[in-house]
Amino acid sequence: MLDITNASGVQTVLTTFETSPGTCQDLLDELQAAYAGFISKQAGFIAAGLHVNDAQTRIANYSQWHRREDFLAMLRSEEMRAVNRRLNALCRSFEPVLYEVAAVY
């Protein structure tokens, strides 16, 4: 279960993928496989959620990591670079942005 918290040191990453209804499910399948097979097993991973808009033109990904360095190490790995190439082929663009939780309600 994803727990949004403003605990000290937790790194939040929000990634928005721009896709199309024709490739949305393929992109979602690739993201789920990446989380199940690789990302969720990396050091510092806490939790993640995948969200699809009604028009199936955007996928939003919310993830939390113990430290910024943990996320960056995963992102720079050879396996994740290969995953990102596959993701890039299924969408117009995507951008991971790192945030710190400022408040929780």
Residue boundaries of the structural domains of the chain: 11-99
The per-residue pLDDT for range 67-90, each reduced to its tens digit, is: 999 999 999 999 999 999 999 999
In the structure, what pLDDT confidence band is assigned to residue 104 with cuts at 50, 70 and 90?
A: confident
The residue length of the chain stands at 105
CATH 3.40.50.410 corresponds to the domain 11-99: no
In the structure, what pLDDT confidence band is assigned to residue 1 with cuts at 50, 70 and 90?
A: low
Classify residue 3 as exposed, middle or buried by CB count within 10 Å of its CB (0-12, 13-18, 19+): exposed
pTM > 0.85: yes or no: yes
Q: Look at residue 100 in the predicted model and tell me its pLDDT.
A: 84
